[in-house]
Amino acid sequence: MNNRFEELRRASWSLPDGKQKLAVMEEMIRLADLYRPVSDAYEVRMNYVSAAPDGGCAERMMIAFAWCLAEFRKHPDQYSSFSLLWNYKWVLNQIWRIPEFSRETADRVFEDFKAMCTEFGYNLRPYHQQRVSYLLSLGELDEAADAYRLWRATPRDSLADCRACEQNLFGEYRFRIGHLKQGMKTLKPIMDGRMRCHAIPQNTYSLVMNPHLQLGETDQAIAVSRKAFRELEGPAYLEEYGELLETLTLMDLARAYKLYERTLPFVRESRIGWNNLNYLYAAGLFVEEWTKSKRRKKLPMADQVTPEWISDELGRLIQAFDRRNGNSIISERMADRVKTFHKLKRKLAKGSV
Amino acid sequence: MTMNFQVNLQGLIDLLSNHLYSDPGIFIRELLQNGVDAVTARKRLGQSFEGQVLVEVYPSETLSFTDNGSGLTAEEIEQFLARIGSTTKRGDLDLADDYIGQFGVGLLSCFVVSDEIVLITRSAKGDGALEWRGKPDGTYGIRSLEREVPVGTTVFLKAKPEFAEFFQYDQVEELLHKFGQYLSTPIILKEDRYERRINVSKAPWDMKKEEALAYVEETSYYRPMDIIPLVSAVGGVRGIAHVLPHAVSLQDEKRHRVYLKNMLLSDKLSSILPPWAFFVNGILNTDSLRPTASREAFQENELFFAAREELGECIKRYLMELVDREPELFQRLVRVHTESIKAMAVEDQDLYELFIRHLSFETSFGDLRVSDILASRKEILLAPTVDEFRQIARVAKSEEMLVVNGGYVHDLDLARRLPWVDSSATVRIVNTLEFAERFKELGAEEKAEVQPFLELSDRLLSGFQCQSLVRWFEPADLPVLYNTNQEVNFFRLADDAEEKADPLYAEVVRVIRDALYERPYARVCYNYNNPLVRKAVESGNPRMQKACIELFYTQALLLGNHPMNADELKLMNDSLLFFMNEGLARTEVDR
């Protein structure tokens, strides 16, 4: 069985990010549980925690993380608190995206992280940072603004996200509260190539396209969409594909088709409500425009992914978020986005953007 | 008050030698480049002359590079040589594109290998001859020369002891050849009275197909399958791609050879052709792609990517024409480069339609070409992983079902799209857990007879997340088919995590497992065709049946290479010991 374990490890290294790789790692975990020391089982699970979001199955990470957290609490001296808390941040970044979690559960997870940071001597910068995204998704803008201030006021320590990731989120925050120009300014060092990491600028591309269009900067939007089309790859970027698909639907329907074809299988596999919501929103617009354009090419997976299926799924997700949030922020926001889309479309048709 | 801060030239040179350039031999390229650019500059002045760069190798590890180009005036020397980073070539921005060099740091690479640069020059614009001597600490001197010197520039270098090898005739010849063999300005190498011209060869991008085939064979020691001409108006690229006669690993870094205005830029550039083009090696020349500071790669800007796309189109067009033009060669190409072609076909619908019928997949009937698959069946089943394929392949064959193994990289995506080329075909992804339900059901009477046995089996195996059914299927010698899928493992992990976690995280695990997923059960399907299974059902003895079920189950796990946990191992041992006991007891009775 040790041979099998090594064989699987080699396979996991050579497979591209995705479900097959995760399946291989799940078998590795099973084997480690049965035949190898606990520390191996811990290590394989920690690797799985970072591979799961890359493979488009971020929710699965929490299963492995739950086990590691319990094991860590049993033997805190045997494992790195830093690495555990570092991965804990990804849990926070996912939990609000899954509407099946109640607010109460999500809040308790955030508090648990906060207590652990304090216990192991880290400050609360990442805690505040993660809360900004969470509160924005709940539509609680005042609380989000408070968290944003606390985030920026707390000095960076080793647990903080890398500077490029933080800068990206500073910009995203500005966009979310409607300060488009300020957001652009904030993201300039990234767009100029002066800050980058493994996820930046790919993440940033998807953020700036729509604001560019709204600001009337069509050329920039086109240039960024080209880069995004080239550089976004794999199942981890579903939300970003949504942004890109929306922009391409407005500006380059043929390329939008290619993107849709390439990314549609990912949404069929994804169980993360927030990402699916943002992708399907754009997919709905794309399918509508494609059908209107009367092109002969058939849409991919047309027998399963019908306009009705997309709109049912969208409706279900919007309801799920509204239910969790206890308000109607998400339905309002989605309705606004559709309006903005059509406004931009009219402007582009007139050539006034 | 504005002040200048000091730059430590020695430090800068160290930086360049260690970090900017990947190889000390680069100074040969830089000097060659300066010479060729000077010739271009003098031609631009409208003077009529035969341009040439002469390289001389002297004893005592000294080299000289002489060109009959524009030369430098005292002012230009001040401006160009005494200030790092400025270049005489920059003033003329509109025309700058004819030059190879861009950054004016080229001469510095000489300090990597030499402690002094001596430069003798006479400008084509007039004035007398000048001598400039520079040292790596930043000091230099200029003086006028009395003697007659022809228009042009000569650079003398004496090797630092550790770089003496780069000043040997053979090494210089090799480097000149490597970098400059396709330059149009004649390059002459001289030692004593012996002279030879380095660049007599025709560039591959100017060759006809037969010439290019012979050229690649001579330089790479294999005869390529074919030559694909490459042209991109964007970036002014021309070149050839030769189709490799052997398969290559998709993991290998590609090494394309790329020239900038006929001067070698890199012989290991991977990104100039699209990543799917594994099966070719390219030799290309560009007029207008922008190099990076070290001039060992290109700036990857929009222009670069547009050119790359254009080159990719050339390869695609070639393949599409090849099917009709040379069907045999096309078949050979598919056979040798299957993996590469699969990767391409996933990316591009046109290529998919072109290739898919010629590709082969592993199926329950062995390796089959797609054209044969489509000719024989319209209903195609697709197993999403190698593991699931193995579980069902043998039985599927006996049952006359065609199952395609989609477990290898790209195969799932390729096979899933078969209806694109044959609209009458349907492709279904096998749900391994429901696979056995496709087999022939039992008659009503038999069903009733089997029912208690199945209930017992469900009861005994429910702890292993396993449900039971019974069907008629082939081969008869297989008593039980055990099917699981990837999700079963995941659920086991979730259950373990729930048990181990604190209440908060146990709740987290439950939400994910129960609200986001549906629990899958593994299946054991008993084969009513198998005499042993029928005997077990007929025996009516619950103790005996229990042991049979436990042994059938654990045997199926073993045969399928599924890992057994402690409980399953115990099950197997207990049932084996039970039968041993039974057997021994019977022997005793017989005695």
The B residues from 402 to 421 touching A (CB cutoff 8 Å) are 407, 409, 413
Q: Decide if A66 and B407 are in contact by the 8 Å CB cutoff.
A: no
Q: What is the ipTM of this complex?
A: 0.95
Distance CA B582, CA B570 (A): 18
> Where do the structural domains in chain B lie, given as residue ranges?
9-197, 204-329, 335-435, 439-485+520-590, 486-518
A305 vs B99, higher pLDDT? A305
Q: Quick one: pLDDT at residue B354?
A: 87
The closest alpha carbon to B531, from B470, B451, B477, belongs to B477
Chain A residue with minimal CA distance to B564? A34
CATH architecture, domain defined by B335-435: 3-Layer(aba) Sandwich (3.40)
Q: Dmax over Cα atoms in chain A, in whole Å?
A: 68
- pTM summary value: 0.72
Cβ of A66 within 8 Å of Cβ of B493? The answer is no
Instruction: Compare CB distances from A101 to B494, B505, B511 and report the shortest one's residue.
Output: B511
Q: Which two tokens stand for residue B138?
A: 């930043």
Is pLDDT at A311 greater than 90 in this prediction? yes
Mutate to test the interface with A, among B249, B414, B508, B569 (most CBs of A within 10 A): B508
Which residues make beta-bridge pairs with B282?
Answer: B241
B509 touching A, CB under 8 A? Answer: yes
Phi and psi at B308, nearest 5°, equal -60, -40
Residue B512 to residue B532: CA distance in whole angstroms: 42
Strands of B123-223, DSSP E: 130-134, 140-144, 152-159, 187-191, 194-197
CATH says B204-329 is which class? alpha beta
Burial zone of B299 (CB within 10 Å; 0-12 exposed, 13-18 middle, 19+ buried):
exposed
Helix (H) or strand (E) holding B176: helix B169-180
Strand B466-471: give its sheet, edge to edge.
B466-471, B522-527, B480-483
Residues of A in contact with B484 (CB under 8 A): none
Contact A34 B563 (CB under 8 A): yes
Residue B564 contacts residue B554 (beta carbons within 8 Å): yes
**How many CB pairs lie under 8 A apart between chains A and B?**
94
Question: For the segment A143-199, what is each residue's pLDDT rounded down to a tens digit?
Answer: 999 999 999 999 999 999 999 999 999 999 999 999 999 999 999 999 988 899 988
In chain A, residues with a C-beta closer than 8 Å to the C-beta of B506 are 66
Question: Looking at CA atoms only, how far is residue B364 from chain A in angstroms?
Answer: 21
Cβ count within 10 A of residue B55: 25
Interface of B with A in 383-402 (CB under 8 A): 385, 387
Query: Are the beta carbons of A30 and B516 separated by less than 8 Å?
Result: no
Listed in sequence order, the residues at least 6 apart from A179 whose beta carbon sits closer than 8 Å to its beta carbon are: none
Query: Which residues sit opposite B523 in a β-bridge?
Result: B467, B483
Q: Is B201 helix (H, G, I), strand (E, B) or coil?
A: coil
Measured between beta carbons, the chain B residues lying within 8 angstroms of A105 are: 504, 507-508, 511
- Cβ contact, residue pair A70, B515, below 8 Å: no
The residue with tokens 């008629």 is B472
CA distance B431 to chain A (A): 15
H/E stretch holding B380: strand B379-383
Report the chain B residue with the minimal C-alpha distance to residue A60: B512
Q: What is the DSSP string of A204-268?
A: HHHHHHHHHHHTT-HHHHHHHHHHHHHH--SGGGHHHHHHHHHHHHHH-HHHHHHHHHHHHHHHH
Q: Which residues of A touch B516 (CB under 8 A)?
A: 59, 98, 100, 271
| Chain A residue numbers touching B465 (CB-CB < 8 A) | none
Please name which of B480, B571, B466 lies closest in space to residue B533, comparing C-alpha atoms.
B480
Name the token pair of B143.
Answer: 């003086």
CB contact A16 to B (< 8 Å): yes
Q: Could you tell me the mean pLDDT of each successive run of 10 residues in chain B, 591 residues long?
A: 71 68 84 91 90 93 94 82 54 46 64 89 89 84 89 94 90 93 94 89 92 92 94 95 88 88 91 89 93 83 92 92 92 89 82 90 94 91 87 89 87 89 89 87 92 95 92 92 86 93 97 92 93 93 94 91 86 95 88 77
Cα B279 to Cα B72, B255, B309, B361: the distances in Å are: 48, 11, 17, 20
Q: Are B407 and B385 a contacting pair, CB within 8 Å?
A: yes
Strand B53-58, strand B187-191: pairing: parallel
Instruction: Report d(CA B412, CA B409) in Å as an integer.
Output: 7
For residue B410, the model assigns a pLDDT of 83
Inter-chain residue contact B385 with A62, CB threshold 8 Å: no
Comparing CB atoms, the residue among B349, B489, B565 nearest residue A26 is B489
**Predicted pLDDT of residue A353:** 47
Among A3, A17, A30, most B C-beta atoms within 10 A, so best to mutate, is A30
Q: Which CATH superfamily is domain B439-485+520-590 in?
A: Heat shock protein 90, C-terminal domain (1.20.120.790)
Q: Do A271 and B409 touch (CB under 8 A)?
A: no
| Shortest CA gap A101–chain B (Å) | 7
B487 and B517 in contact (C-beta within 8 Å)? Answer: yes
Tell me which residue in B387, B505, B566 faces A66 most closely, judged by beta carbons: B505
Question: Cα–Cα distance between A252 and A222 in angstroms, integer?
Answer: 9
- pLDDT score recorded for residue A90: 96
List the single residue in B305, B489, B507 with the smallest CB-CB distance to A30: B489
State which residue of chain A sits closest to B309, comparing Cα positions: A230
Gap between the Cα atoms of B369 and B359, Å rounded: 6
B491 vs B499: CA distance, rounded Å:
12
Choose, out of B500, B505, B518, B568, the residue to mutate when testing the contact with A (most A CBs < 10 Å).
B505
Contact flag B489-A112 (C-beta cutoff 8 Å): no
Structure token digits, residue B127: 């004035």
What is residue B97's DSSP assignment?
A: G
Contact A293, A253 (CB under 8 A): yes
Between CA A313 and CA A335 the distance in angstroms is 15
Judge whether A20 is closer than 8 Å to chain B, CB to CB: yes
What is the architecture of the domain spanning B9-197? Answer: 2-Layer Sandwich (3.30)
Beta-carbon count within 10 A of B38 CB: 27
What lies within 8 Å, CB to CB, of A102 at 6+ separation is: A324
Of A14, A63, A95, the CB nearest to B493: A63
Residue B490 has its nearest CB partner, among A26, A71, A109, at A26
Q: Does A101 touch chain B (CB under 8 A)?
A: yes
The pLDDT value recorded for residue B96 is 42
CB B36 within 8 A of CB B165: no
Q: Does B429 touch chain A (CB under 8 A)?
A: no
Q: What is the pLDDT of residue B95?
A: 40
Q: How many CB atoms lie within 10 A of CB B271?
A: 15
Q: Which residues pair with A63 in a beta bridge?
A: none
Contact B439, B394 (CB under 8 A): no
CB A309 within 8 A of CB A269: no
**B139 Ramachandran zone, left/alpha/beta (phi>0; psi -120 to 50):** beta
The number of angstroms, rounded, from the C-alpha of B235 to the middle of its chain's C-alpha atoms is: 24
Task: Write out chain B residues lying below 8 Å of A14, CB-based.
Answer: 251
> Chain A residue with minimal CA distance to B426?
A303
Q: Tell which phi-psi region holds residue B404, choosing left (phi > 0), alpha (psi between -120 and 50) or beta.
A: beta
A65/A76 Cα distance (integer angstroms) = 15
The dihedral formed by the CA atoms of A147, A153, A158 and A164, expressed in degrees to the nearest 10:
80
- Give the burial string for B329-365 (b: 16+ CB within 10 Å, else e): ebeebbebbbbbbbbbbbbbbebbebbbbbbbbbbbb
According to DSSP H, which parts of chain A are helical? 2-14, 19-35, 38-54, 58-74, 81-95, 103-119, 125-138, 141-153, 163-176, 180-191, 202-214, 218-231, 238-251, 253-269, 273-292, 307-325, 329-350
CB-closest option in A95, A100, A230 to B305: A230
Which residue out of A1, A63, A111 would a mutagenesis test of the B interface target, given it has the greatest number of B Cβ atoms within 10 Å? Answer: A63
